Amino acid sequence: MTLGWSTARHVVVRHRGLIGKFAFELVIVFVGVTAAFALENVREREAEAHYRTEMVAALRPTLDDTIRHNAAFDHEVTGKLAAFDAAIAAGKEPALPFFRETNSERPPIRAWDGLVASGAAKAIPPALFFRLALFYTRQESFGERYVRYNDFTEQRVLAAGNDPVVFYDPATHALKPEFSAYVDRLRDLQVFGKQITQQAIELRDALAKIE
């Protein structure tokens, strides 16, 4: 019995160093794997943060595009409405002023949808996020208004040609109500466009502060 215990003790003593070495190697492996996971998590967080920053930065050029687009729209419409109003004041029956988007059915509005879908909007402070969401909702509304306006342009104005009898009352030489309202819709679009431009400028400057 004594011999058995002595033998077991001898085996333990002989292998204690091996057991300790094995345990130490396990600890090293565990620490290495844990460190690798930690480094990978850090790398992924940094990559995600960089991606979000790049996506937010990409919003600013789209706001610049909106500002430039609306400036061109405002310049063209201002000239057309001024010439139309001057001709009406002179007692003439001028052709109706109208505006049409080139190479598009409506102004561009989809950048925000892409940002939200990507998850990059998480990089935007909540207050600014809701301001941007409201801005793009209003821009969507502007697009819908333009579509309705453009439908009338194509179906009623352009289709009528240049015959003043279509647009003006022969007895009073005043614009018929539906065409007077049509010109007013263009004025409304211009006012709405100016409001959107001002909001775009403010949002572009606010985005610059979080980059």
- How far does the chain reach from its first CA to its final CA, in angstroms? 78
Please give the pLDDT value at position 58: 74
Express each pLDDT in 125-159 by its tens digit. Answer: 888 888 988 998 898 899 899 999 999 999 999 99
Quick check: helix, strand or coil at residue 196? Answer: helix
206, 87 Cβ separation under 8 angstroms: no
Q: Give residue 3's pLDDT band: very low, low, confident or very high (50, 70, 90).
A: very low
User: Looking at the predicted structure, is the pLDDT value of residue 29 above 70?
Assistant: no
Please give the pLDDT value at position 102: 79
Q: Give residue 12's pLDDT band: very low, low, confident or very high (50, 70, 90).
A: low
User: How many CB atoms lie under 10 A from the CB of residue 72?
Assistant: 11
Please give the pLDDT value at position 154: 94
> Which of 40-49, 50-59, 191-200 has the highest average model confidence (pLDDT)?
191-200
Please give the pLDDT value at position 122: 73
Average pLDDT in the 99-123 region? 70
189, 77 Cβ separation under 8 angstroms: yes
Please give the pLDDT value at position 24: 60
User: Looking at the predicted structure, is the pLDDT value of residue 69 above 70?
Assistant: yes
How far apart (Å, rounded) are the C-alpha atoms in residues 7 and 15?
12
199, 138 Cβ separation under 8 angstroms: yes
How far apart (Å, rounded) are the C-alpha atoms in residues 151 and 32?
67
Q: What is the pTM of this model?
A: 0.72
Average pLDDT in the 26-37 region? 64
Please identify which residue in the block is written with the tokens 């009338």.
Answer: 152
Express each pLDDT in 96-106 by its tens digit. Answer: 999 998 776 66
Of residues 109 and 86, the one with the higher pLDDT is 86
How far apart (Å, rounded) are the C-alpha atoms in residues 176 and 193?
26
CA–centroid distance for 195 within its chain? 17
How far apart (Å, rounded) are the C-alpha atoms in residues 112 and 92?
45
Cα torsion 103, 104, 108, 109 to 10°: value is -160
